[in-house]
Amino acid sequence: MTSFRCVCYTNFLFSIGISDHYQSNFHLEEFAIDICNHFMTTFCQVAYVKAYVQEVPWQRLHEDGVPHIHSFICVPDGIRFCEAEQCRNGPLIVFGGIKDLKLMKTTQSGFEGFYKNEHTTLPERHDRILCGELFCKWSYGECKDFDFNCIWKKIRECILEAFAGPPDCGEYSRSYQKTVNCIQMHVLSRVSQVSSFLLMMFYFNNSECLMHH
Ligand SMILES: O=c1[nH]c(=O)c2[nH]c(=O)[nH]c2[nH]1
């Protein structure tokens, strides 16, 4: 079961929160678009609307294979979210995203070939653990008749493929910057509906954060 949180901001009076909205066939992007349309068409005073919706992935608890009657555990393995925003007389812009996606590869990762000068103390590494948390957000092009669920799944698949490489042999990463770039290229080449793609990787080894646009 998945529940959803929705927050809507406008320039005028309204700031609504709809939390824990339980529905198995709930469509995040469509709901965010509906919320934008609702505020824009109902109130002429509203100049700007932004609706943010995110899933909360609950899984029913099991004890010795028996599903618990009422208790759940939240197991996030990449949280899906979306945003829809619109200025009056402007286009409706829809974003999709994944946050809190924690990934690790235990080998086939290094950091080498980087620029060095007299201040460089960091040695090159050819085998290390690469572990980080990903945040990504993308915008959709003009058409809004997309199958958002299908696109979201495809993007998640692309991210995992590009991070890990083939299951039987993996793929060497010479830096996490390179891995981030490979993920971006893979998504943009495979998912035509995406018009821009932001990816941030919070690198656990030394708490660095790099942002790539
Ligand atoms: O993949 C890496 N990129 C860096 O920029 C960096 N900097 C660092 O200390 N380790 C790493 N690893």
123 CB near ligand 1 (under 6 Å)? no
- Please tell me the predicted confidence (pLDDT) of residue 22: 56
Q: Cα torsion for 130, 133, 135, 136, to the nearest 10°? A: 30
Report whether 184 contacts 212 (CB < 8 A): yes
- Please tell me the predicted confidence (pLDDT) of residue 20: 57
Distance 186 CA to ligand 1 centre (A): 22
Confidence of residue 200 (pLDDT cuts 50, 70, 90): very high
Nearest to 130 by CA among 99, 100, 106, 165: 106
CA 127, 175, 199, 184 torsion-angle sign: negative
The better pLDDT of the pair 18, 108 is held by 108
Domains and CATH numbers, the chain: 1-90 (no CATH), 102-213 (3.10.270.10)
- What percentage of the chain has pLDDT greater than the value 90? 76
Full-model pTM: 0.88
- Please tell me the predicted confidence (pLDDT) of residue 213: 47
Confidence of residue 147 (pLDDT cuts 50, 70, 90): very high
122 CB near ligand 1 (under 6 Å)? yes
Distance 79 CA to ligand 1 centre (A): 26
Report the C-alpha gap between 125 and 103 in whole angstroms: 19
Q: Give the number of the atom of ligand 1 that is nearest the alpha carbon of residue 130.
A: 1
pLDDT averaged over every residue in the chain: 89
